[in-house]
Amino acid sequence: MNSILIHPMKCGRGPVLLLFGALLALCTFLPRIAEAAEAGKPLPDLKGAALEGAVPATRGKVLLLDFWASWCGPCRKSFPALEELHQRYKARGLVVFGVSVDEDAGAMKRFLQQHAVSFPIARDQAHKLAEAVKVSAMPTSLLVDRRGVIRFVNSGFKGAETEALLRRQIEQLLSDSK
């Protein structure tokens, strides 16, 4: 059996086993896609998520909830954009809230020393909130409307493209009736 897996072309069943292995890998991956955060669901209570750090008041506000980690390269690039969005829209009712999924508090602190922001940050060491909203990639931003419903889910950060998308989504949610 091992020789078939190591040298699939030596056996007529090799290509079939390779195809079976590829299908098995795909089937293992698909449930993760289906479990990603979903728009239309209510955001779980932030105060009940056992976050380390102050949870900002969000009632009646539009919330940009950003999950990030110190080891995430795109997260480093997203922080200036998040700070700009925070400064641009906070007077209109946007709350930007960063949630680190770092298990090591020191790693989070070092990241924040290098990438200082003025919006609130908390740490989800136990990943309780990240699991509740089914975050599957870093960074992931959730945009939550004034009623507490997740309206948009954005995974990854692609520079100006993601910034423009977030601005459009934020403008839409801020324009919705209060």
17/86 same-domain check: no
Domain that holds residue 25: 2-34
pLDDT of residue 127: 94
10/78 same-domain check: no
Residue ranges, the chain, pLDDT below 50: 1-35
pLDDT of residue 1: 38
pLDDT of residue 31: 36
Beta-strand relationship, 140-144 and 94-100: unpaired
pLDDT of residue 20: 41
- What pTM, to 2 d.p., does this model score? 0.79
Judge whether 40 lies within some domain.
Answer: no
pLDDT of residue 178: 55
> Which residues are CB-neighbours of 107 under 8 A, at least 6 positions away?
70, 71
pLDDT of residue 176: 87
pLDDT of residue 171: 97
Judge whether 118 lies within some domain.
Answer: yes
